[in-house]
Structure 1
Amino acid sequence: MLVAAAVCPCPPLLVPGVAAGAAPELDSARAACTDALGLLAAARPDRLVVVGPGEESEHGGYAAGTRGTFRGFGVDIDVTLGRPEADEPELSQRRLPTSLAVAAWLLERTAWADAPIEGRVVGEPLTPERCIEIGRDVAVRAERVALLVMGDASACRTLKAPGYLDERAAPFDASVAHALGKVDLAALKRLDTELAHELKVSGRAPWQVLAGAGEEAGLSGALLYEDAPYGVGYLVATWS
């Protein structure tokens, strides 16, 4: 059963080495992520499942010990998603997608080593129904499951945003922030997939996985961070 969850954004700019001179602009977001991961550790889960967006057609699992890198962003920084479990078969050569690499970097900063870890990536084309089904399956992976859910809100908050300015972006982000802060599962499940796509939202599918995982949990929520630096909506929330 789900006992705790943390929702974090997944831009590579969270990694100071990638952000370089712009790193201080996301200091408050990093601090909020650290606080959220502290809550996960305090819940003492038997298993941590990290869920994040991937390429459009990508979905599937990543074992503990899978490596990721930020070399594609011009920095010599490598990460590993936890430690391989003793009975884990030899890892493949595939690398973590960026969202899970950011999660691995956050976990390394907090020296996470309390529970086995596994990663799962969900592609944008997955329907809400399929995402919710995945969440239900994740919630029964162990007696006490924690979720680290990676994903960004809209990328259309300002004229200089990656998706340019869209007046629908701020209301959409506000509705997601409210749903995450209040653990409004129904609101998360009915997120408009077409609108999310138009607003370049990467977190829609991961948030709906979270909604499925939280159905039987009875958790309460808190919104720790809500802002749109660079015109992209970043949210940090906790469920416990």
Structure 2
Amino acid sequence: MLVAAAVCPCPPLLVPRVAAGAAPELDAARAACADALGVLAAARPDRLIVLGPAGRSGRGPHPAGARGTFRGFGVDLDVRLPGAVTEAGEPGRELPPSLSVAAWLLDRAGWADAPVEGLGVGEPLAAERCVEVGGQLAVRADRMALLVMGDASACRTVKAPGYLDERAEGFDAGVARALAAADVAALKALDAELAHELKASGRSCWQVLAGAAEGAGLGGSLLYDDAPYGVGYLVAAWS
């Protein structure tokens, strides 16, 4: 059963060595992520599953100890999911960037509160399948926690990666309200096509969260809501 969840954005710029001189611009987002991870630890889960949007090569399970890297972003920095390296789940596969950011956050927090595994979720995954996957995850431990990585729209300003789309602000506001209220129905109802058009990478992972949280009776708190660089970044905690 799901007992807690943290929702965090996944730009590599969250990692100060990647952001370099611009690192202070996301200090508030990093602090909010740390607070959300604190909520996970306080829930004393039996297992933590980290969800992150992934391309084809990064989809599927990633075991404890799986390695990620930020070398593709010009930084000689490797990370691992917490825990001992195992032989399960294709340990040689590299973490997708979203799970690499999660691994960095967990290392920064000194996570040692429960066994960890990662799951790369395809961004195009249909809403119904996302909800189904979430329901399957929720029964894997008596006290399950999720760390859910993903960004909102990338179309909030003319300088955003997806340029300005007038629909983006409303879409992001709706997601923020749903996360603040732990509104499972609202997350399930997110428009997958619109999310794709707005380059909102977190949609599939948020809907997996919705499936896992069905019937759990969790409450929500929105810890951060901003759009630096024209991309919506949201941090929330459910418990």
Question: What's the TM-score, normalizing by structure 1?
Answer: 0.97
Alignment of 1:213 with 2:225, yes or no, is no
Which segment drifts farther, 35-44 or 53-62? Answer: 53-62
Question: Counterpart in 1 of 2:117?
Answer: 118
Q: Distance in 2 between matches of 1:189 and 1:84?
A: 35
Contact 2:70 2:76 in 1 (8 A): yes
How far apart are 1:59 and its partner, in Å?
A: 2.7
How far apart are 1:124 and its partner, in Å?
A: 1.6
Question: Counterpart in 2 of 1:173?
Answer: 172
Question: Counterpart in 2 of 1:89?
Answer: 87
Deviations 1:208-229 (A, max 9, x none): 0000000021000000000000
Question: Counterpart in 1 of 2:183?
Answer: 184
Contact 2:63 2:91 in 1 (8 A): no
Structure 2 residue matching 1:121: 3-state secondary structure = strand
Q: Distance in 2 between matches of 1:186 and 1:137?
A: 18
Structure 2 residue matching 1:218: 3-state secondary structure = coil
Q: Distance in 2 between matches of 1:149 and 1:234?
A: 13
- Counterpart residue type for residue 108 of structure 1: D
Q: Distance in 2 between matches of 1:74 and 1:174?
A: 33
Deviations 1:31-64 (A, max 9, x none): 0000000110010000000001001575311000
Change (3 A) 1:10 1:220: same
Structure 2, unaligned runs of 5 or more: none
Paired residue total: 238
Deviations 1:71-96 (A, max 9, x none): 111111110101127xx326532110
Q: How does 1:127-146 map to 2 (within 5 A)?
A: 127-146=126-145
Q: How does 1:56-95 map to 2 (within 5 A)?
A: 59-84=59-84, 88-89=86-87, 92-95=91-94
Deviations 1:86-109 (A, max 9, x none): xx3265321100000000000000
Q: Distance in 2 between matches of 1:29 and 1:92?
A: 30
Structure 2 residue matching 1:23: 3-state secondary structure = helix
Deviations 1:114-148 (A, max 9, x none): 11001001112210010001100111111000000
Q: Distance in 2 between matches of 1:75 and 1:94?
A: 20
Contact 2:130 2:208 in 1 (8 A): yes
Question: Counterpart in 2 of 1:4?
Answer: 4
Question: Counterpart in 1 of 2:200?
Answer: 201
Alignment of 1:32 with 2:17, yes or no, is no
Question: What's the TM-score, normalizing by structure 2?
Answer: 0.97
Deviations 1:159-208 (A, max 9, x none): 10000000000000000000010011111001001100000000000000
Contact 1:66 1:81 in 2 (8 A): yes
Q: Distance in 1 between matches of 2:71 and 2:208?
A: 29
- Counterpart residue type for residue 239 of structure 1: W
Q: Percent identity?
A: 73
Structure 2 residue matching 1:76: 3-state secondary structure = coil
- Counterpart residue type for residue 66 of structure 1: A
Which segment drifts farther, 89-98 or 2-11? Answer: 89-98
Contact 2:58 2:96 in 1 (8 A): no
